[in-house]
Amino acid sequence: MVIRYEMSYRFYTTTEKAWNGMMEAIRMAERKIYIEMYIFVDDTTPSHDFIWELKNKLNNWVEVVIVLDVFGSLELSKKTVSELRHLGAEIYFFSDFFRRTHRKILIVDNKIAFLWWVNVKRWSKNRYDLQVRLTWWIVKPLLKSFAYTYKMCGWKDEYLLSYSNKSFVKKIKWWIIENRWKSNNIYHLNNYYKRKIIEAKTSITIVTPYLIPPRWMIALLHMAIHRGVKVEIVIPKDTEIPTLNYINYYYVDKLFQLWIKFYFMHKMNHAKAMIIDWDEAIVGSQNIDFLSFDFNAEVWAFFSDKKAIRDLENIVSKRKKESTFFIPTKRRLWLASIITRIILKLFSPIL
């Protein structure tokens, strides 16, 4: 069945702007609010009090279902959870050994969806980030994706659960791809990356906060460069986590030798995106690391819509202009950096 609604989208480029869009959608909710998040904490400022807005909607008979990662949302207070549940919210904490749900999804009234990489925690408010607001038919595949995780957490709502078994006609300009567990489709994202890097003809642009690429990705990017493809990676100069800075610098030094160009952003960038030949793009929750590729539940929006590609190109181009082009220099390696490099070299055969 083809759903014939005109779809619209909107990009948000900072955490605060994304929060504003999410808050507006929650305030407009009339029937249902579904949330799946890695980090969702009740320490945001009064201007972005998500808990208060959700309580208000529960008091107005809006259904609220929340799925949170037990590790990422560990700081969410038990009092808040108890209060939301008392008002009728379904709240589940996903826990499955080494696996995490790293997705960030908000669905309102089954017709508006936010697919984002934005965490709800005070310290992330001033970051560069990327979120997309989607409407109409593409919300249905996102509902299916959300229902799948909901089912794994001890579902109650038969209506929501029914979406996990539905099939939807694949669209050409926008679609949802994901990583799942306990399914033959676990490597959807991996296959997409491999196929698109292999098919690239002129350029590959990657935006990521953390850079720990698996060996197959390094090999494929190297092969692309030999075909004459320009490969650029945009990462933050400071991830706000010193250990991850050491790891990023290690792989920048390593990949620069393969003629990959790097841009260091002077502000923390949490956005994740890949653009191929400026004809296709993917934005979503996945970092360039082995956890995201092989263990975490992730979700991305793939699109070939020309206007959306231009909008994303403008966002990425602006961030490149604000960045410093990486030029290798001899610099003193601190002990922590040396130790990090030794560990990464030891584990590089399996990454």
- Average pLDDT of span 163-186: 64
Q: Are residues 199 and 162 in the same domain?
A: no
Cite the DSSP H helix spans in 12-116. Answer: 15-28, 50-59, 78-86
pLDDT of residue 22: 93
pLDDT of residue 154: 72
With a CB cutoff of 8 Å and minimum separation 6, the contacts of 11 are 130, 131, 132, 133, 311, 312, 315
| Domains contained in the chain, number | 2
Q: Is residue 141 part of a domain?
A: yes
Residue 5 has pLDDT above 50, yes or no: no
pLDDT of residue 247: 87
CA–CA separation, 52 and 94 (whole Å): 23
Q: Are residues 250 and 289 in the same domain?
A: yes
* Dihedral sign of CA atoms 169, 166, 35, 103 in order: negative
Among all chains, which residue has been given the structure tokens 């990949």?
255
Residues of the domain holding 269: 188-350
Q: Is residue 1 part of a domain?
A: no
Confidence of residue 2 (pLDDT cuts 50, 70, 90): very low
Q: Is residue 176 part of a domain?
A: no
Residue 40 has pLDDT above 70, yes or no: yes
pLDDT of residue 341: 53
- In 3D space, the residue among 109, 121, 113 whose CA is nearest the CA of residue 141 turns out to be 113
- Average pLDDT of span 63-90: 93
Q: Are residues 30 and 58 in the same domain?
A: yes
- Average pLDDT of span 225-235: 96
Q: Are residues 123 and 260 in the same domain?
A: no
Residue 184 has pLDDT above 60, yes or no: no
Residue 177 has pLDDT above 80, yes or no: no
pLDDT of residue 234: 96
- Average pLDDT of span 190-199: 90
Q: Are residues 152 and 202 in the same domain?
A: no
CA–CA separation, 173 and 67 (whole Å): 29
| Sheet-wide strand order for 174-178 | 174-178, 299-303, 280-284, 273-276, 203-207, 230-236, 261-265, 324-325
Q: The domain spanning residue 293 has which CATH number?
A: 3.30.870.10
Confidence of residue 349 (pLDDT cuts 50, 70, 90): very low
Confidence of residue 125 (pLDDT cuts 50, 70, 90): confident
Q: Is 42 helix (H, G, I), strand (E, B) or coil?
A: coil
Q: Is residue 314 part of a domain?
A: yes
- Helices 188-199 and 215-226 cross at an angle (nearest 10°) of 20
pLDDT of residue 43: 85
Q: How far apart are the first and last CA of the chain?
A: 41
Show the beta-strand stretches assigned E in 63-127. Answer: 63-69, 90-94, 105-108, 112-116
Confidence of residue 252 (pLDDT cuts 50, 70, 90): very high
CA–CA separation, 126 and 267 (whole Å): 9
